[in-house]
Structure 1
Amino acid sequence: MHILLHWAIVEVVTACSWTELVVAADKPVLVEFWAPSCVPCQMISSIVVELAKEYAGKVLCYRINIDDYPNVASQYGITSIPTVLFYKDGENKGSFTGVVAKSTLCAALNKYAE
């Protein structure tokens, strides 16, 4: 499933596709944990869409709805949203919780995108 927003596509990751899309990815990965009822999530979502466009070909950007996949959120220690996780080579390299500036996310991505 894809969500088309502002000229960029951010794919939805699920419990079934997590390992394939995130852990086994051949590029750095940004994963946004969100829920439809979360207003701050909407602000981060728009930033993630911009990042997906700007880092196309360098970083994979995904989102996962914790209402649909609470077990994934629990498995990865997500206790509040929005939360953004960064993965590289199958390993969690860091995270941010809450609304953070785009520049903060860019700085994190720049560490992993080569």
Structure 2
Amino acid sequence: MPTKAVTDANFSDEVLNSDKPVLVDFWADWCGPCKMIAPALEEISEELADKVTIAKVDIMENTDIASQFGVQSIPLLILFKDGKPAAQKLGAAPKSQLKGWLESVL
């Protein structure tokens, strides 16, 4: 299942009220490292579709969510379980590292 775009308006429904863990990628169009990890996140989203949903929040368009979770540097990945942040990873990394980290915190 491909990554899904999430906004201030539907963040609660899509992330906080999800019945499975959601990894949220906080990103922006001008962020080079964000664009570097995007294809890896798409692949991981397909590979781990039964375990986790991967959502993307554009911090320039969704400032409420970004400020609510104190997003200051991107790319920032936050894993939400049962509506609460359970783990986070800052910065770009190769797909193998991203997937390994995600599997270790799921």
| Structure 1: unaligned runs, 5 residues or longer | 1-7
Aligned length: 106
Q: What is aligned with 1:48?
A: 41
User: Does the 8 Å CA contact 1:88/1:112 hold for their aligned counterparts?
Assistant: no
Cross-structure match for 1:94: 87
Deviation above 4 Å: which 4+ runs of structure 1? none
From 97, 101, 104, the equivalent of 1:104 is 97
Residue in 1 that maps onto 2:54: 61
CA contact (8 A) 1:81 1:97 kept: yes
Higher percent of residues as strand: 1
Query: How far apart in 2 are the matches of 1:71 and 1:20?
Result: 15
TM-score (normalised: structure 1) = 0.85
1:9 shift after superposition: 1.7
Greater relative contact order (Cα < 8 A, sep 6+) = 2
Question: What is the root-mean-square deviation in Å for CA atoms of aligned residues?
Answer: 1.4
Unaligned residue ranges in structure 2 (runs of 5+):
none
- Return the letter of the residue paired with 1:30: L
- C-alpha offsets along residues 24-69 of structure 1, whole Å, 9 cap, x if unaligned? 1111111101111111110121111011111112210100101101
